[in-house]
Amino acid sequence: MLNMHHLLPMLISQYGAWVYLGLFAVIFIETGLVVFPFLPGDSLLFLSGSLAAMATHPLNHLVLIGLLSIAAIVGDSLNFKIGQRFGHRLSSPKWQRWIKPQHLAAAQHFFEKHGNSAIFLGRFMPIIRTLIPFTAGISKMPYHKFILYNVMGGVAWVSIAILSGYFFGNIPVVQAHFELIMIAIVVVSILPAVIMTLVKNRKGTDLNA
């Protein structure tokens, strides 16, 4: 994650518009494959937006929003179908090395608490973002309801992250501390999941006391 600030511009200079395909793949994999919840979606979108604002780079922020919104929507739809067809099998102890039980439990709790809107809200939370559509598939949520929240959440997440980078990523103080900003984005985005887990554990402790 810390090297992306240097790696992505280098890839753009070498491969030009082909970088769009790589960005599409990362967002699609993070949202579509339940075993890859750790990919840096938020920070990558922010960085891409900041580079699109620079005249020296060929990236276009509107193309990024359109293309990566499609990646996020299609990825979540695939993840939903995986949960729908194979969810109970993949939730077995055999797969715990790849799908952490605590992460899946947090996603299930989040889905139960927020209902259908969890599909939208979960977009803004790493790990939860990858596991929510999988959980929705396991719960047999009707696809026509899922796709509505999927589209709204995908477009909102990608647009907010890219436009934040586009308008604020090249401010001198942000550029001077870009690595710290990347870490801060990740920390802030996972904070709700951490708080939710702590509250849940505290309630469990109180019940057992």
Break the chain down into helix, strand, coil percent, rounded to 5.
80, 0, 20
CA distance between the termini of the chain: 42
Instruction: Look at residue 52 in the predicted model and tell me its pLDDT.
Output: 87
**CA 178 to CA 173: how far, in whole Å?**
8
Provide the greatest CA pair distance for the chain. 61
**CA 54 to CA 74: how far, in whole Å?**
29
CB 135 within 8 A of CB 108: yes
Query: What confidence tier does 140 reach under pLDDT thresholds 50, 70, 90?
Result: confident
Instruction: Look at residue 159 in the predicted model and tell me its pLDDT.
Output: 94
**CA 125 to CA 41: how far, in whole Å?**
10
Rounded to an integer, the average pLDDT of 67-95 is: 85
Instruction: Look at residue 51 in the predicted model and tell me its pLDDT.
Output: 86
What percentage of the chain reaches a pLDDT higher than 70?
A: 74
What percentage of the chain reaches a pLDDT higher than 90?
A: 24
CB 98 within 8 A of CB 165: no
Rounded to an integer, the average pLDDT of 109-116 is: 77
Name the residue among 85, 98, 97, 164 with its Cα closest to residue 130: 98
Rounded to an integer, the average pLDDT of 112-117 is: 79
Instruction: Look at residue 74 in the predicted model and tell me its pLDDT.
Output: 96
**CA 136 to CA 16: how far, in whole Å?**
37
